Structure 1
Amino acid sequence: MARPAQKVIITCAVTGAIHTPSMSPHLPLTPAQIAEQAIEAAQAGAAILHLHARDPADGRPSADPEVFAQFLPAIRAATDAVINITSGGSTKMTLAERLAPPLRFKPEMASLNMGSMNFSIHPAATRIKDWKYGWEQAYVEGTEDIIFRNTFRDIRHILQDLGEGCGTRFEFECYDVGHLYNLAHFVDQGLIKPPFFIQTIFGILGGIGPDPQNVTFMRETANRLFGADSYQWSVLGAGRHQMGLLTAAALQGAHVRVGLEDSLYLGRGQMARSNAEQVRKIRHLLEELGFEIATPAEARQMLALKGAAQVAF
């Protein structure tokens, strides 16, 4: 397949709410660690920084805007990367809790999970013998019996209050083919207008699997629903599927997302020491294939973002 003319946007998801401190000593937990790793990732080539927060005391996921306030200004001061604040938070949070940070800071972008789903990491608990903090084991094991909630009403609320109300555009996280149809519903309702950024996610237990055929299927489905010129397409491969799936997807025209939220490893048996390591690796792989990496300014243009001057931090 011919290489697309446009440059590839690298998104880096810096910490997330999936992995816990016992899973990697390199997972950023404190505001200072999150800021440092986000800045390094931007310097390595990430045009978009997808950000969650953690309780500085024990690393559990946090939706406290005051914690976000401890790292957002530092990141903005040090880099021109697009800052993307999660609206997903964690499966333990209410919708109001999840929306508190992006509604306060009015970022250029926010993530938006396009449906309710089983979202589980409970098998990981069997591989951990020593837990660093008391909350972790119950949190990981408990995902076997938790549904991440984003109903149609929830999504409409986010699109109206955060999108229309704050001028924030979205990273539409699609974990299965039904999520693409949910997205199409809101496009038909006039609540989402192109160009939109579709993040297709593969390899999460509860979502579509990481088979290369599924990547092609999701791409072809999106093209049927929206037309190839209406959206920018990105791919996330969870865990061990990260680098191989992203490289193959880029050959089909995809942008890519890496980061310690999505995978703790750099390669087989090799733990990533930072988010920047993953950014540098995927950048190297893409450049070896002849791709050019998008700058933050180019990403803003492709995604029709409002610009860093319009955020509230």
Structure 2
Amino acid sequence: MSKIIITCAVTGSIHTPSMSPYLPVTAEAIANQAIGAAKAGAAILHLHARHPANGRPSALVEHYMAFLPAIRAGTDAVVNLTTGGSAVMSMQERLAGPVAAEPEMCSLNMGTMNFALYPMLGKRTEWLYDWEEPFLRQSDDMVFKNTPRDIESILRLMGRDRGARFEFECYDLSHLQMLDHFVGRDLITGPIFIQFVMGVLGGVAAEPEHLAYLKQTADRLFGDDYMFSVLAAGRLQMPMARLCASMGGHVRVGLEDNLYIASGELARSNAEQVDMVRQIVEAESRVVATPDEARMMLGLKGKDKVGF
């Protein structure tokens, strides 16, 4: 089997600061944890920004630029910026940081969907900041909007105009059909990098049978012109990573997707999860790709062509 790419999603926009003291929210913490994850074996760093004063998700240019230069100076890993930001942001807000930074990669959610986080409320009664509890509680009426018009705009703005390649986040079968639609319109060319996002309430559950069917569908639609990776939100993060590695796919871990390293035990860093998944995939006889190998596999424009 080919080299395996480990992606680390460092902070995200789902978990709130009260859930873990190890979730990085300041620029220094995000940079340090990203560099640590790269040293542990992550070839790609998937990044969101946060307001340093309260940990709230942000897409402000100044918040991205507070940590991106340090990451570039500290590691050769590929920087992959979210175009999703947070479901409570407008598309213009979500894209402010990525447009300015012009990264090698961006994530792109392939559809509008419910994004329900409110089950996390049952795990906590005290909050560090007053925005956390309402943000989670109101997610029972939260819709992440990415219409075909939005997707086309992002493909043109970040891909055609700025040379980014994409991590196509597919939360369900319909997202593969949408991806195929844009391939048919010649707005997406190979190699295609699909991230099967599993375990989010509103998307496909993290079950082996679902992964098998998603891969079967992608095989039919895209043939040999795609690669796939899996992230499983929550406790099934590592079991699904093991399964994906055994199927020839790539893997994503990180505190964006799961705050724990074992049952009831918080991960103390992103690097801890990367180290664990590296041991898992190497036990499956997979060889971890370096950042430059990942660049070649994904056809990226190169670290010297970014805007930070």
Is the pair's TM-score, using the shorter chain for normalization, greater than 0.5? yes
- The partner residue of 2:95 within 82, 92, 99 is 99
Partner residue of 1:273 out of 268, 274, 295? 268
1:62 deviates by 0.5
Stretches (4+) displaced over 3 A: none
CA offsets 1:47-77 (integer angstroms, 9 cap, x no match): 0000001000000000101010010000000
Cα offset, 1:150, TM superposition:
0.1
1:160 aligns with 2:141: no
Query: Which residue of structure 1 lines up, in the alignment, with residue 251 of structure 2?
Result: 256
Give, in whole Å, the separation in 1 of the partners of 2:132 and 2:260.
Answer: 20
Tell whether 2:198 aligns with 1:202: yes
- Amino acid in the other structure paired with 1:66: E
Q: What pairs up with 1:55-74 in 2 under 5 angstroms? A: 55-74=51-70
CA RMSD in angstroms comes to 0.6
Counterpart residue type for residue 275 of structure 1: N
SS in 2 for 1:161: helix
Deviations 1:189-223 (A, max 9, x none): 00000001100011000000111000101000000
* Structure 2 unpaired stretches of 5+: none
The equivalent residue for 1:33 is: 29
Contact 2:245 2:284 in 1 (8 A): no
In structure 1, the partner of 2:168 is 172
Which secondary structure state, in structure 2, belongs to the residue aligned with residue 139 of structure 1?
Answer: helix
Note if 1:241 corresponds to 2:244. Answer: no
Shift of 1:103: 0.7
Is 1:293 aligned to residue 288 of structure 2?
yes
Q: Indicate the percent of aligned positions where both proteins have the same amino acid.
A: 56
| SS of aligned partner of 2:25 | coil
TM (norm. structure 1) is 0.98
**Residue number among 17, 20, 23 corresponding to 2:13 in the alignment:** 17
1:231 is the counterpart of 2:226? yes
Give matches, 1:209-220, under 5 Å: 209-220=205-216
Residue 149 of structure 1 is matched in structure 2 by 145
What does residue 282 of structure 1 align with?
A: 277
Which amino acid counterpart does residue 21 of structure 2 have in structure 1?
Answer: P
Residue 291 of structure 1: how far off its partner (Å): 1.1
Counterpart of 1:213 in structure 2: which amino acid? E
TM-score, scaled relative to structure 2: 0.99
List per-residue Cα deviations over 1:139-188 (Å, max 9, x = no partner): 01111101000000000000011110000110000000000000000000
Question: Any idea what SS the aligned residue of 2:202 has?
Answer: coil
Alignment length (residue pairs): 308
SS at match of 2:161: helix
Amino acid across the alignment from 1:249: C
1:93-127 CA deviation, whole Å, 9 max, x = no partner?
00001111111111000000000000111011121
Q: What residue in structure 2 maps to residue 193 of structure 1?
A: 189
Letter in 1 for 2:145: R
2:87 is equivalent to residue 110 of structure 1: no
Q: Distance in 2 between matches of 1:42 and 1:205?
A: 29
Structure 1 residue 289, shift from structure 2 partner? 2.2
Residue in structure 2 matched with residue 127 of structure 1 by the alignment: 123
Q: Deviations over 1:238-259 (max 9, x none)?
A: 1001000110111111100000
